[in-house]
Amino acid sequence: MTEQIGFIGLGTMGKWMALNMMKAGFPLTVYDINPAAVQFLAGQGAGAAQSPADVAAKVDWLFLSLPDTEVVEKAIFGEKGIVQGARPGLALVDLSTIGYIATLDIDRKLKEKGILFADAPVSGMEARAKEGKITVMFGGDEGLFQTVRPAFDAIGNQIVYMGAVGCGQLTKLINQLLFNIS
């Protein structure tokens, strides 16, 4: 595979998703605020980056798996953030679960910079992430969905195109509400 992949956020879910992408043959560059998390993936063959901007400068597709809206926005727009290193045409896919309105705002700001954005929150616990059997709910351009689909196939067993940007987050919200009712 020729696409260079970046992954930011190597926590409970992210480290396994990143590792599964590597196992599928994707060249991977990673970043996390926790140096031990980066070292774990570097020990498996990933390249280590110094910042989100550094990752963005080296890759074609960039995936985020971060804990909340504030952290996602900081990784994208903060000091040494993704937008400072990204080239127009970068595909940025947020696997995090964040706010719907924030997702739309991020998309609007990134479009101005020529960066392709999609929200693709995931469902499943750590064991399922480790096995590559999570559900991915993609919201964004359908062409982008088809382009990055091979990376999703490496991390999940149910990959669903939900519609425009934000639809992934709305689907995840409904999923969580229904899960909590039962």
Pairing between β-strand 5-8 and β-strand 61-64 as defined by DSSP bridges: parallel
CB 138 within 8 A of CB 159: yes
Average pLDDT over residues 58-69: 98
At 1, the pLDDT band (50, 70, 90 cuts) reads low
| Owner of token pair 């599964």 | 20
Positions marked catalytic: 172
Say whether pLDDT at 47 is over 80. yes
At 182, the pLDDT band (50, 70, 90 cuts) reads low
Average pLDDT over residues 13-23: 98
Indicate the range of 97-106, 127-136, 143-152, 173-182 predicted with least confidence: 173-182
